[in-house]
Amino acid sequence: MKNNHYKKTKKAFSLPEVLLTLVILGIIMMIAIPQLKIFNPRQRGFDTRAKKMEEYFTEAIGHILQHDCSLDDLTIINLDSGEKFSIADPHNEAKLAEIFKKYILYLDRQPNVSVEYFTAPIKDYDKTPIGVTLEETYKNFFFAQDGTLIGFRSYGSCEATELNTNPSLQRGRYTQPNVCASIFFDINGENKPNKLGSDQYVLPLYKRGIKYTNGDI
């Protein structure tokens, strides 16, 4: 009888053992949960597609420099007609879009995007609205064949930065000087989350070359 009683008591856990187990599990969860947030398969897919689009734009700019520029300088582009224009001039945004279409596979139709998408405040990665909309900043949108929505913005001067063109953004945002224009692209079109650095990205066009960013607009 004593042996049977001994075996039964050995199968149970004492209160200290249960509490210790819960503490250990709590520590493991505290360590693991932040890592799970960082590893976001959906975001990883967005970033992969964004890098591919960056490569397309870089290749297109290489062709532009070779075939559509009279100088190795993106501030002046020479069209087939021989016309030259500055990509910093807002009046030339449509021309800038057309010349990129020569080197990027696109859908030959008007973008079918809701008004709400263009008029909603642009959001940072942390979902904070930054005070401007696509309607106010980017123009001449078109869809690439993979569904990426692409738009263009000229800054009026190659000395322009977000701080002097958009006073509402004067809150310590990292900016680059000598930006002539920029390309906005949303890799899944109108679909959510519609946030900069998540599914929306910006590629600034400098006097010479480009620089990729997922934050500044």
Contacts of 150 (CB under 8 A, 6+ apart): 97, 100, 104, 106, 141, 142, 143, 144, 183, 184, 185
> What pLDDT is recorded for position 143?
94
Structural domain for 98, as ranges:
43-206
189 token code pair: 């079109």
Does residue 217 lie in a domain region?
Answer: no
pLDDT tens for each residue of the chain, 217 residues long: 555 555 555 566 676 666 777 777 777 666 665 555 556 788 888 888 988 898 888 888 888 877 776 555 666 766 666 667 788 888 888 988 988 898 888 988 777 888 999 999 988 877 788 888 999 999 999 999 999 999 999 888 877 655 444 433 333 344 556 778 889 999 999 999 999 888 999 888 877 655 544 444 5
In single-letter form, the type of residue at position 178 comes to N
Question: Is 24 domain-assigned?
Answer: yes
Whole-angstrom CA distances from 63 to 8, 105, 141, 180 are: 80, 14, 21, 19
Are 168 and 75 part of one and the same domain? yes
Distance CA 153, CA 181 (A): 5
Cβ atoms 184, 138 nearer than 8 A: yes
Query: Do 78 and 141 fall within a single domain?
Result: yes
Nearest to 175 by CA among 137, 210, 213, 139: 213
Is the same domain home to 1 and 79?
Answer: no
Report pTM.
0.72
Domain membership of residue 216 (yes or no) is: no
Measured CA to CA, the distance from residue 106 to residue 102 in angstroms comes to 9
Is residue 212 domain-resident?
no
Which amino acid, residue 58? T
Q: Say whether both 71 and 122 belong to one domain.
A: yes
215 domain-assigned = no
| Cα–Cα distance for residue pair 60/63, rounded to 1 Å | 5
Count of domains observed in the chain: 2
Distance, CA of 91 to CA of 116 (rounded, Å): 25
pLDDT of residue 60: 86
